[in-house]
Amino acid sequence: MDNIFLQISVLLAITTVVAFFVRLLKQPLIIGYIIAGIIGGPLFFNIVHGGEEMYDAFAQFGVILLLFVIGLNLNLNHLKEIGRTSFITGIGQVVFTIVFGSAILLWLDFPLWTSVFLAGAITFSSTIIIMKLLMEKKDTETVYGRHTIGLMIVQDLIAVAMIIAIGLMRTGSGVSIELALLFLKIAILSAAVILCSRYILPGFLRRISNSGEMLFLFTVAWCFGVASAFFVAGFSIEIGAIVAGISLASSPFKLEIGSRIRALRDFFLVLFFIVLGTQMGMSPLSDIWLPGIALSLFILIGNPLILYFLFRLLKFTRRNSFLAGLTAAQVSEFGFVLLYAGANLGFVTGRELSIFTMVAIITIFISSYLIIYGEKIYRYLLPWFNMFGADRHRQAEKVSEKFDIWIIGYHRIGGYVAESLRESGLKIALVDYDPDAAKRIRDKNISLFFGDASDIEFIENLPMASSKLVVITIPALDDQLTVIQHIRQSRSETFIIANAYQYSEIKQLYNAGADYVMMPHLVGGNWIAGVLKKGKWTRDAFAQLRNEQAEMLAS
């Protein structure tokens, strides 16, 4: 089967079947994707033979898009807050793993430099798996989630430094020259991205934001363009993808951007985990089982412990320290890169790649469960933690901004509702997909969330269920039902006002959970009837009505 289309079709079919049974067993879908890759790989059907480079490119697309979305939810102030902690924990975990990992391998009679390279390969945790699971749990904005993301960024920077060091070992170039070039590249790239994000991108995004297709096209081009620039400069594309996301983190369009590329990201991420499974080729088990099991236990137990104690020393709560530690209990795909670099230098010559592959299988499988069920594991171990006394440290979780009233749709009714309530002291948020509305709202004391109310993934990112009132003024029935059903599924007591232009729509909106359904033409008819009934039919009277109408439109 040499046709790439047929290969992908068969792989996706296998993945769907495996994922179905994994879902029935209530297990993480990542496990199903990796199992599907193993089935489609050289151990079984060997479906992907001949197209490895294409699949690697697909997998890389998923990594870039995931990290771009992560960066989209970060900002510079956030990075300043977590910088010190991330640096200390990142350096501490890397040093601990290399030192003790090398000691274990030396004890197992591995040569010194082979031990160092293999220990270095297992040092780094998998950014892609950690970020994916944190997003699925919606924990990226928690205390431990934010600091875990910072830790991953620090690890990526250390990984770049190690690759540079290996390159110097191979070429014998001057260290001072290479470091000077490194810092120069960082300065140039950072300055270029910052200048673009501040002075060019805001105006450009406002011009194209009325076209969903243009916004999607620009987002993908910007993400891959910045990632490629960092790659050409000698950094990892992962760092470039995160920087591309951070550069758009302050944009009012970031929620819409994130929802636009989510489906594309998820498709390529599935391929990433399938490809990871297909790479699980094995040497004879008798040659690798002892070091593979020893290193796996070290990663699953040692890494969480060292991170737990590092976070505790930095005055984090037991819970946050425990959950952050669990995220590091697997190895990264970067380990393959490091081992290949070691092979080019002659330090890695034998079964090390197969050992690392075995460690990857074991730790990725088990750590996926540890991360997903981390809260349950912590509660189970809580009596043991309480034996050491009360926890003296506290952290306040970051609370999402809450609004009293959400108005879906600015034009027509929404603008008048917002104007009438803005002096009441209530916090008001508007949702609209029209750039012209965004220009008006920027001058008012009202928060705007730019995006399409018909996009459920965009709606899921808005804390509407915690508000007192949601007023929906958009005309489309299906879009209104999407919003109402999302709010009611969260068992929220929020009052919902919808609107209908046809009598047949009223029953559907009430059945979905609306508390009241207004009919604009009925309200308008009652108003004009009252005007005609009570007022005088004179040219001056109608001129006054026109003036009042013009003032309302101008506002």
Residue 440: its pLDDT value, please?
Answer: 64
Residue 176: its pLDDT value, please?
Answer: 59
388 vs 166: which has the higher pLDDT: 388
Residue 172: its pLDDT value, please?
Answer: 52
Specify the pTM. 0.63
Alpha-carbon distance 407 to 497, whole Å?
10
HEC string of 72-108 equals HCCCHHHHHHHHHHHHHHHHHHHHHHHHHHHHHHHHC
pLDDT value at 514 more than 80 = yes
Residue 286: its pLDDT value, please?
Answer: 67
The pair of structure tokens assigned to 448 is: 């705007």
Instruction: Find the mean pLDDT for residues 276-283.
Output: 62
Residue 51: its pLDDT value, please?
Answer: 63
Q: What is the DSSP letter of 108?
A: T
333 within 8 A of 126, measured Cβ to Cβ = yes
Q: Which among 8-17, 302-311, 343-352 has the top mean pLDDT?
A: 302-311
Residue 297: its pLDDT value, please?
Answer: 92
Q: Over the stretch 467-488, which tens digit does the pLDDT of each residue have?
A: 888 888 888 888 888 888 888 8
- The percent of residues in the chain predicted with pLDDT above 90, rounded, is 3
Which band of pLDDT confidence, cut at 50, 70 and 90, is reported for residue 282? low
User: For the packed helices 318-326 and 303-313, what is the interaxial angle rounded to 10 degrees?
Assistant: 150
pLDDT value at 443 more than 60 = no
Which band of pLDDT confidence, cut at 50, 70 and 90, is reported for residue 412? low
Alpha-carbon distance 179 to 365, whole Å?
38
299 within 8 A of 366, measured Cβ to Cβ = no
DSSP H helical segments within 299-386, as ranges?
Answer: 303-313, 318-326, 334-345, 352-372, 374-386
Partners of 406 in beta bridges: 429, 470
Alpha-carbon distance 93 to 459, whole Å?
38
Instruction: Find the mean pLDDT for residues 303-332.
Output: 88
Q: Where do the structural domains in the chain lie, given as residue ranges?
A: 51-386, 405-518
The pair of structure tokens assigned to 247 is: 């550069």
**Considering only CA atoms, which of 237, 266, 241 is closest in space to residue 67?**
241
Alpha-carbon distance 15 to 482, whole Å?
29
Q: Over the stretch 149-174, which tens digit does the pLDDT of each residue have?
A: 888 878 877 776 776 666 555 555 55
217-221, 433-437, 449-453: which has the minimum mean pLDDT? 433-437
* CA 265 distance to own-chain centroid: 10
Alpha-carbon distance 475 to 454, whole Å?
11
Partners of 447 in beta bridges: 429
Residue 84: its pLDDT value, please?
Answer: 78
397 SS3 class: coil
Residue 123: its pLDDT value, please?
Answer: 87
pLDDT value at 394 more than 80 = no
Residue 435: its pLDDT value, please?
Answer: 62
Instruction: Find the mean pLDDT for residues 541-554.
Output: 73
Residue 513: its pLDDT value, please?
Answer: 87
Residue 298: its pLDDT value, please?
Answer: 92
Instruction: Find the mean pLDDT for residues 399-424.
Output: 75
Q: Over the stretch 204-219, which tens digit does the pLDDT of each residue have?
A: 887 777 777 888 888 8
Partners of 499 in beta bridges: 518
| Mean pLDDT over each residue of the chain, to the nearest integer | 78
Q: Which among 131-140, 379-388, 389-398 has the top mean pLDDT?
A: 379-388
DSSP H helical segments within 210-330, as ranges?
Answer: 212-232, 237-246, 254-278, 285-297, 303-313, 318-326
Q: Which fold has domain 51-386?
A: Na+/H+ antiporter like fold (1.20.1530)
CATH architecture of 405-518: 3-Layer(aba) Sandwich (3.40)
Q: What is the DSSP letter of 314?
A: T
Which band of pLDDT confidence, cut at 50, 70 and 90, is reported for residue 179? low
The pair of structure tokens assigned to 178 is: 């290479």
- Name residues whose C-beta falls within 8 Å of residue 235's C-beta, 6 or more positions apart in sequence: 160, 185, 189
43-57, 110-124, 351-365: which has the minimum mean pLDDT? 43-57
pLDDT value at 438 more than 70 = no
Q: Over the stretch 78-97, which tens digit does the pLDDT of each residue have?
A: 566 667 788 888 888 888 88
